[in-house]
């Protein structure tokens, strides 16, 4: 029997529902093949404060940096976060091809993007081996410290 | 006026600057560390950007990340608040270099006042009274003994780059001079990277009196009354008031004029404070200048009706002050108490934690500046200032009575605070008579009898 | 001065009185209904006593239980606040009978001003301008038609015992007079138990201007400036300011003198307010007198620096005011917004509930009077006033900008409030120009476009 | 075997039901193919209010008036509370014997004490039959509205 692939969009959808429901501290959804448990950060204060959930800058960074992504499959998706404030570039030059695309296999130490800060180009490398599951930032966008840039699926063949 | 301003700070002062900007119609950018994700300044600003992990050295002091944020979000001004980079001439210079207005004076003015010995010499030259002392740094015992012959004992050894009491030694006899010199030099070297020290006459039981000034780029420099900040503990101010109790009007005029001379001498622009020591005979001496907005600026705002932070931002945008010294009027008396998350019974040990209850005082004559709220988690990484309560009264007794009732109704659960300490000061007979001096807390307050809370709640 | 004072009220005004007492060194007794067990006034008072079940008629209006509490706990004064028994001459009389000072005027003054027609006649006799109208109540159509010949149309039919808009009818033509008379009489009968009505000239688009007065038992009567309370909805004030925008100084003087004449005419003591209508030509007419402290007293406190509640208590204790009219100085501009737990999109429907978040604004020039706190459960039994935000500025534009930023930072979750409504008023071009009149809200504010919250939070 | 997709609308509906039920802290719904568990945000702010419990005047009156007392034996002890503010007296006159003492049997309608208010003496009667288990107020003390005066044990013989 083949191992069904994780449906990332479904996971995202469940997280979105949880995020959009201020009263919910924890949401568990299980079907025959997939179980998603979402626990919201520090329910107390966050729930009182309605801002973070709706704030664009806060939500992406709410995922802990360089931690496994907060989905049901904690041991599979590894996040790459911005180690500095700057502009995110997928390629070394405007006309060059991107370092990586979704679905690409990356090795530890392989450059996956660049963050430009104070006129300096900082190469960001993957720390793990795996397949690029998702690139979460548009090319040439500003990124804040700790912002989630990419997810790498370490179980991918 | 500016379009968008970045606040390179956190806590109550970041909130204070956001308030000023919102009243001026300026958009705000908050920067924050990962520990401050739920902080009030982040929630109140128009935009917010995370600039690093919790330790200040990697976030609030991280110049590359701050400047990148400023450029990425297109701000035209940066307000440094107090602390962090507020008195770093290098930071002010970088802002200049990238054409972003720094809300503060020139790098040169900051640098000059940052060197205590150089500041002292410049002030002396400008005709601002300074404490008699060495003419610049002293290198060895022989030089020190020479100086002591002119100024006499007791004298004080101070670090040129110093502040906060480090690298300071009081010397009572000639015999103690050498050891004090060596210790102070070693401490200064360790704390500030420079072992330069200088000597000054030690003023016994002085009061700490300071003058708020505000200067625009057209050389219009105002003084906004005096503050008494004598209630300190280990050189940390705890309670400030304006006007200083018992200070006669003619001394205020003399102090104000001296402060304006000091500012002119260094082409100062923006908000600043000249700190003076005042002895028992109301003789005053220049101590140092703080080239930034200060924690205690609200007491001056309360008695003048002026918004110092808004004016500070306006002059940074090259606007004129719009008023002259004759337009500055004083009304009543104001007191500020710093409510720190510290345990006064445990040697004022900082006590981070979660505020399970937080009900600030209100009503007439009471102002609260805080970044805290019910449920707020005080991170352990930064200073312990939690809130400032400012009470205004038609006269000093009313201000004291009002502060007392404000502190009694201030409900904070989850962490110990300095409220019981302040209630003890407010009830002290010497304080009530206005007999304050910088060692007031040591002399007049017995911290061992502090009750957990002199509480207003029914017993 | 009093030793112990009972506050026969709840909510923010009970908290306000406790604050005044604490500053005066008077012990306080709170009374409360079973619904207010966790209320702030109960927590702040020195003692608290439960006086009945939730409905006001059985608790806050329960005179036997209030007076028993006063006697059992040995109080020497009772402050009625506003509402409840504040303008009940019978209650004031009972206090007199049992030798407990009532913080308010004599029963006679309350009773006289409670009868609108009698008050009008007394004021007219004292030389206070009144709106041209009938000489006392009109009994029938014939009398009404006679009066209408002198004062002309439009005119207004009013209940003699009335208030709050009930028993009122505007009449534009002689043909409508009879029906209006009958309806008003029936409404007045139902609402106040008396069908007496009188006629007045109807002042079109008037402003509501009122004068705060304060009188001691030695006949020293002060007026403390004027307030404009034109921003109303169904005769409920929502926003008040002082001084009234555009009111010239000579009119203030005339209004003040008229108010003092009014107070003298009834041997008034304590704090009170004379309400005037002002027409487009700045002609003013006595409307009514409120013989108690008012919700909007803080705007006057902000521009005079006087503590009206403390002074009110002092004169009830037979102390002299200690200042004269010449000592009353005005500084700047103050605005108050009433933050009600009401949904302005649902016809201002009261909305009790739990405050899941409550972070009041702070910083310079902002005062908050509230009995609410994070976690407070607003009971459904009483009025919906949740908090008063008062903003002071050096001038009206600064006060408006400051109020705007204060409301933007006021975080209240759990119930809808009138904050979005106030932001809409503050942003209105007519309001900004000072063009206000009692039907401003109907004419200038389109409640249908109210957004859930014109929020300051980053979008 | 077909992969059933998560029904997001159903998840949302369950959350809505949980949100709209103020008394519900946790809701678990399971069908053959889908299980949803919602845990609601704890009354973070509720915990804030710590004062009332320690307030002396609040504690006695916290027992609901004329309700069974909040003890383990809720069906046995009935409380008699003050229907008005006044002074509590156990006897009709200073020199008279008390209406009741602990251990006495009382009948419905029997006077158990007096509350003096505004110079008037108000006789307080028991509404139930039982034995006086406890008298909680000292003679001649002030009592507030709703204050617990006595407990009557209705199971006593």
Average pLDDT over residues C220-232: 97
Residue B335: pLDDT band by 50, 70, 90 thresholds? Answer: very high
Q: What are the backbone dihedrals phi and psi of residue D106, each rounded to the nearest 5 degrees, phi first?
A: -120, 150
B64/A117 touch (CB, cutoff 8 Å), yes or no:
yes
Answer yes or no: do B359 and B276 share one domain.
yes
% of chain B at pLDDT higher than 90: 81
Classify residue C391: in a domain, yes or no: yes
- β-sheet bridge partners, residue D114: D89, D123
Torsion of CA A145, A148, A150, A154, to 10 degrees: 110
D34/A33 touch (CB, cutoff 8 Å), yes or no:
no
pLDDT digits 0-9 by tens, B96-105: 999 999 999 9
Average pLDDT over residues B270-283: 94
Answer yes or no: do C263 and C174 share one domain.
no
Q: What is the pLDDT of residue C168?
A: 84
Q: What is the pLDDT of residue D25?
A: 64
B413/D55 touch (CB, cutoff 8 Å), yes or no:
no
Answer yes or no: do C252 and C312 share one domain.
yes
How many angstroms separate the CA atoms of C305 and C330, rounded? 8
Q: Is D22 an 8 Å CB contact of chain B?
A: no
Interface partners of chain C (CB pairs < 8 Å, 3 or more) are: A, B, D
- β-sheet bridge partners, residue A30: A35, D35
- Interface with A, mutate which of D37, D38, D42 (most A CBs under 10 A): D38
Does the pLDDT of residue B406 top 70, yes or no? yes
Q: How many CA atoms lie within 13 A of B39 on its CB side?
A: 28
- Nearest-CA distance D56 → chain A (Å): 29
Please give the ipTM for the structure prediction. Answer: 0.78
- β-sheet bridge partners, residue B241: B228, B335
Interface partners of chain D (CB pairs < 8 Å, 3 or more) are: A, B, C
Answer yes or no: do C310 and C268 share one domain.
yes
Which of the pair, B164 or A50, is modelled with greater confidence? B164
- Nearest-CA distance B211 → chain A (Å): 39
D89's enclosing H/E stretch is strand D86-89
Which of the pair, D41 or D146, is modelled with greater confidence? D146
Q: How much is the CA Rg of chain A, to the nearest whole Å?
A: 17
Classify residue C123: in a domain, yes or no: no
Residue numbers in A near C411 (CB within 8 A): 49
- Scored b (16 or more CB within 10 A) or e, C351-376 reads beebbbbbbbbbbbbbbbbbbbbbbb
Q: What is the pLDDT of residue A47?
A: 22
Where do we find the tokens 């000091």? B262
Torsion of CA C152, C157, C161, C163, to 10 degrees: -100
Residue D1: pLDDT band by 50, 70, 90 thresholds? Answer: very low
- Nearest-CA distance A24 → chain D (Å): 4
Average pLDDT over residues B46-75: 97
Answer yes or no: do C191 and C223 share one domain.
no
Q: Is A105 an 8 Å CB contact of chain D?
A: no
pLDDT digits 0-9 by tens, B357-383: 999 999 999 999 999 999 999 999 999
Q: What is the pLDDT of residue B163?
A: 65
Sign of the CA dihedral with A14 first, then A18, A24, and A25 last: positive
Q: What is the pLDDT of residue A61?
A: 32
Residue D3: pLDDT band by 50, 70, 90 thresholds? Answer: very low
Does the pLDDT of residue D2 top 50, yes or no? no
Check which CATH number belongs to the domain holding C32 and give it.
Answer: 3.40.50.20
pLDDT digits 0-9 by tens, C59-89: 999 999 999 999 999 999 999 999 999 999 9
Active site residue B292: yes
Q: What is the pLDDT of residue B70?
A: 97
Q: For residue C77, which of C1, C144, C141 has the smallest C-alpha distance?
A: C1
Which stretch of A68-82, B22-36, C254-268 has the lowest confidence by average pLDDT?
A: A68-82
Residue C288: pLDDT band by 50, 70, 90 thresholds? Answer: very high
In terms of residue numbers, what domain contains B286?
207-458
Average pLDDT over residues B160-178: 82
- Beta-sheet pairing, B284-290 with B270-278: antiparallel
Contact yes or no for C305/B364 (Cβ under 8 A): no
Residue D16: pLDDT band by 50, 70, 90 thresholds? Answer: low
Which of the pair, D63 or A154, is modelled with greater confidence? A154
DSSP secondary structure, C295-339, as one string: TTHHHHHHHH---HHHHHHHHHTT------GGG----SEEEEEEE
Answer yes or no: do B289 and B347 share one domain.
yes
How many angstroms separate the CA atoms of C162 and C155, rounded? 17
D145/C65 touch (CB, cutoff 8 Å), yes or no:
yes
Residue numbers in C near D142 (CB within 8 A): 72-73
- Interface with A, mutate which of B52, B72, B74 (most A CBs under 10 A): B72
% of chain D at pLDDT higher than 90: 45
Does the pLDDT of residue B319 top 90, yes or no? yes
Classify residue B263: in a domain, yes or no: yes
Nearest residue of chain D to residue A40 (CA atoms): D41
How many angstroms separate the CA atoms of C343 and C56, rounded? 23
Q: Is D57 an 8 Å CB contact of chain B?
A: yes
Contact yes or no for B339/B419 (Cβ under 8 A): yes
Which stretch of B34-43, B86-95, B102-111, B248-257 has the lowest confidence by average pLDDT?
A: B248-257
Interface partners of chain B (CB pairs < 8 Å, 3 or more) are: A, C, D
Residue D9: pLDDT band by 50, 70, 90 thresholds? Answer: low
How many angstroms separate the CA atoms of C291 and C112, rounded? 10
How many angstroms separate the CA atoms of A33 and A5, rounded? 10
How many angstroms separate the CA atoms of A81 and B240, rounded? 45
> Domain ends where: C62, C85, C103?
C103
C357/A55 touch (CB, cutoff 8 Å), yes or no:
no
Q: What is the pLDDT of residue D46?
A: 21
Nearest residue of chain B to residue D50 (CA atoms): B357
- Nearest-CA distance B420 → chain D (Å): 18
Classify residue B115: in a domain, yes or no: no
pLDDT digits 0-9 by tens, C388-414: 999 999 999 999 999 999 999 999 999
Interface partners of chain A (CB pairs < 8 Å, 3 or more) are: B, C, D
Q: Which runs of consecutive H residues, i.e. helices, occur in chain D?
A: 8-19, 51-54, 58-61
CA distances (Å), origin C299, targets A20, B51, B388, C65: 41, 42, 23, 34
Does the pLDDT of residue D44 top 50, yes or no? no
Answer yes or no: do B308 and B407 share one domain.
yes
Which stretch of A145-154, B190-199, D12-21 has the lowest confidence by average pLDDT?
A: D12-21
Which of the pair, A54 or C30, is modelled with greater confidence? C30
Number of structural domains (chain C) is 3
Angle between helices C107-114 and C116-125 (to 10 degrees): 100
Kindly state the tokens that stand for C406. 């204060």
Kindly state the tokens that stand for C30. 């709170």
Answer yes or no: do C331 and C361 share one domain.
yes
Residue C163: pLDDT band by 50, 70, 90 thresholds? Answer: low
How many angstroms separate the CA atoms of A98 and A91, rounded? 4
A85/B69 touch (CB, cutoff 8 Å), yes or no:
yes
Sign of the CA dihedral with B294 first, then B297, B299, and B303 last: positive
B83 Cβ contact list (under 8 Å, min separation 6): B9, B383
Domain-by-domain residue ranges, chain A? 8-67, 80-153
- β-sheet bridge partners, residue D29: D36
Does the pLDDT of residue B451 top 80, yes or no? no
Check which CATH number belongs to the domain holding B167 and give it.
Answer: 3.30.1490.20
DSSP secondary structure, C388-457, as one string: EEEEEESSHHHHHHHHHHHHHH-EEESS--SHHHHHHHHT-HHHHTT---TTHHHHH--GGG--S----S
- Scored b (16 or more CB within 10 A) or e, D53-79 reads eebebbebbebebeebbeeeeeebbbb
Average pLDDT over residues B259-270: 97
- Nearest-CA distance B55 → chain A (Å): 13
How many angstroms separate the CA atoms of B144 and B181, rounded? 8
A48/B375 touch (CB, cutoff 8 Å), yes or no:
yes
Nearest residue of chain B to residue D49 (CA atoms): B357
Which of the pair, B341 or B282, is modelled with greater confidence? B341
Using CB atoms within 10 A of its CB, is residue A96 exposed (0-12), middle (13-18) or buried (19+)? exposed
How many angstroms separate the CA atoms of C147 and C138, rounded? 9
- Interface with A, mutate which of C356, C408, C410, C453 (most A CBs under 10 A): C356
Sign of the CA dihedral with C284 first, then C287, C290, and C294 last: negative
Torsion of CA B432, B437, B443, B448, to 10 degrees: 70
Nearest residue of chain A to residue D16 (CA atoms): A21
Average pLDDT over residues B247-252: 89
Contact yes or no for B373/B360 (Cβ under 8 A): no
> Is D80-153 CATH 1.10.3720.10?
no
Q: Which residues of chain A have pLDDT under 50?
A: 1-5, 41-74
D52/C48 touch (CB, cutoff 8 Å), yes or no:
no
A45/B376 touch (CB, cutoff 8 Å), yes or no:
yes
How many angstroms separate the CA atoms of B76 and C262, rounded? 57
Residue D41: pLDDT band by 50, 70, 90 thresholds? Answer: low
Q: How much is the CA Rg of chain C, to the nearest whole Å?
A: 22
Q: Which of B122, B207, B292, B396 is catalytic?
A: B292
- Beta-sheet pairing, B77-79 with B101-102: parallel
B373/C375 touch (CB, cutoff 8 Å), yes or no:
no
Q: What average pLDDT does chain B have? A: 93
Contact yes or no for B47/B27 (Cβ under 8 A): yes
Answer yes or no: do C84 and C141 share one domain.
no
Q: How many CA atoms lie within 13 A of C353 on its CB side?
A: 18
DSSP secondary structure, B112-140, as one string: HHHSHHHHHHHHHHTT--B-SB-SS-B-S
Residue numbers in A near C356 (CB within 8 A): 47-48
Answer yes or no: do B197 and B225 share one domain.
no
Residue C195: pLDDT band by 50, 70, 90 thresholds? Answer: confident
Q: What is the pLDDT of residue A75?
A: 55
C312 Cβ contact list (under 8 Å, min separation 6): C103, C214, C270, C271, C293
Answer yes or no: do C395 and C303 share one domain.
yes
Which of the pair, C84 or D37, is modelled with greater confidence? C84
Angle between helices C419-426 and C396-409 (to 10 degrees): 150
Q: Is A21 an 8 Å CB contact of chain C?
A: no
Sign of the CA dihedral with D128 first, then D132, D136, and D141 last: positive
Q: What average pLDDT does chain C have? A: 93
Contact yes or no for B335/B390 (Cβ under 8 A): yes
Classify residue B116: in a domain, yes or no: no
Residue B224: pLDDT band by 50, 70, 90 thresholds? Answer: very high
- The strand order across the sheet containing B4-7 reads B47-52, B27-33, B4-7, B77-79, B101-102
How many angstroms separate the CA atoms of C24 and C46, rounded? 14
pLDDT digits 0-9 by tens, B409-433: 999 999 999 999 999 999 999 999 9
How many angstroms separate the CA atoms of B67 and B65, rounded? 6
Nearest residue of chain D to residue A13 (CA atoms): D8
Does the pLDDT of residue C253 top 60, yes or no? yes
Average pLDDT over residues D48-54: 23
A45/B377 touch (CB, cutoff 8 Å), yes or no:
yes
How many angstroms separate the CA atoms of B322 and B344, rounded? 44
Average pLDDT over residues D95-114: 95
Chain centroid to CA B210: 10
B395 Cβ contact list (under 8 Å, min separation 6): B332, B333
């Amino acid at each position: 029997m083949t191992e069904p692939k994780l449906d990332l969009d479904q996971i995202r959808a469940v997280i979105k529902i949880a995020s959009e429901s201020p009263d919910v501290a924890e949401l568990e959804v299980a079907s025959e093949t997939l179980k998603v448990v979402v626990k919201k950060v520090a329910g107390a204060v966050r729930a009182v404060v309605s801002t973070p959930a709706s704030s664009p800058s806060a939500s992406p960074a709410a995922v802990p940096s360089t931690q496994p992504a907060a989905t049901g499959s904690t041991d599979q998706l590894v996040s790459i976060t911005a180690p500095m404030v700057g502009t995110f570039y997928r390629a070394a030059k405007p006309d060059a091809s991107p370092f990586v695309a979704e679905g690409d296999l990356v090795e530890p130490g392989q450059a996956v993007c660049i963050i430009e800060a104070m006129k300096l180009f900082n190469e960001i490398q993957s720390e793990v081996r795996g397949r690029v599951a998702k690139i979460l930032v548009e090319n040439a966008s500003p990124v804040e410290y700790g912002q989630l840039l990419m997810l790498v699926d370490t179980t991918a063949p | 006026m500016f379009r968008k301003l970045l606040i390179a700070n956190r806590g109550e002062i970041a909130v204070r600057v956001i308030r000023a900007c919102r009243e001026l119609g300026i958009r705000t950018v908050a920067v924050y560390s990962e520990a401050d994700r739920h902080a009030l300044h982040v929630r109140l600003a128009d935009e917010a950007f995370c600039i690093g992990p919790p330790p200040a050295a990697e976030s609030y002091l991280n110049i590359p990340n701050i400047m990148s944020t400023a450029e990425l979000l297109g701000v035209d001004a940066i307000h440094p608040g107090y602390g962090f980079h507020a008195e770093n001439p290098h930071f002010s210079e970088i802002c200049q270099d990238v054409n972003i207005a720094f809300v503060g004076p020139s790098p040169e003015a900051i640098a000059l006042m940052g060197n205590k010995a150089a500041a002292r010499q410049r002030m002396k030259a400008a005709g601002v009274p300074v404490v008699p002392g060495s003419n610049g740094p002293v290198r060895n015992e022989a030089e020190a003994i020479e100086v002591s012959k002119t100024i006499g004992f007791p004298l004080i050894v101070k670090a040129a780059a110093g502040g906060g009491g480090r690298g300071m030694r009081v010397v009572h006899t000639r015999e103690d001079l050498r050891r004090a010199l060596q210790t102070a030099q070693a401490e200064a070297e360790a704390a500030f990277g420079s072992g330069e020290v200088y000597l000054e006459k030690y003023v016994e039981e002085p009061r700490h009196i300071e003058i708020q000034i505000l200067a625009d780029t057209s050389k219009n420099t105002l003084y906004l009354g005096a503050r008494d900040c004598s209630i300190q503990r280990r050189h940390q101010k705890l309670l400030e008031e304006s006007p200083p109790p018992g200070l006669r009007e003619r001394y205020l005029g003399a102090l104000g004029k001296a402060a304006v001379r000091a500012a002119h001498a260094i082409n100062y622009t923006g908000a600043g404070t000249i700190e003076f020591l005042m002895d028992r005979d109301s003789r005053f001496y220049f101590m140092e200048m703080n080239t930034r907005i200060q924690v205690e600026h609200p007491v001056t705002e309360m008695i003048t009706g002026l918004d110092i932070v808004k004016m500070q931002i306006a002059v940074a945008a090259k606007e004129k002050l719009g008023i002259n010294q004759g337009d500055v009027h004083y009304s009543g008396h104001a007191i500020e108490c710093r409510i720190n998350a510290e345990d006064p019974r445990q040697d004022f040990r900082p006590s981070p934690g979660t505020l399970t209850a937080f009900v600030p005082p209100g009503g007439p004559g009471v102002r609260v500046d805080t970044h805290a709220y019910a449920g707020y988690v005080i991170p352990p990484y930064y200073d312990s200032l939690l809130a400032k309560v400012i009470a205004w009264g038609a006269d000093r007794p009313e201000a004291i009575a009002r502060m007392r009732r404000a502190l009694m109704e201030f409900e904070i659960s989850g962490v110990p605070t300095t409220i019981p300490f302040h209630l003890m000061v407010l009830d002290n007979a010497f304080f009530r008579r206005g007999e304050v001096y910088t060692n007031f807390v040591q002399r007049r307050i017995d911290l061992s009898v502090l009750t957990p809370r002199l509480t207003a709640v029914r017993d």
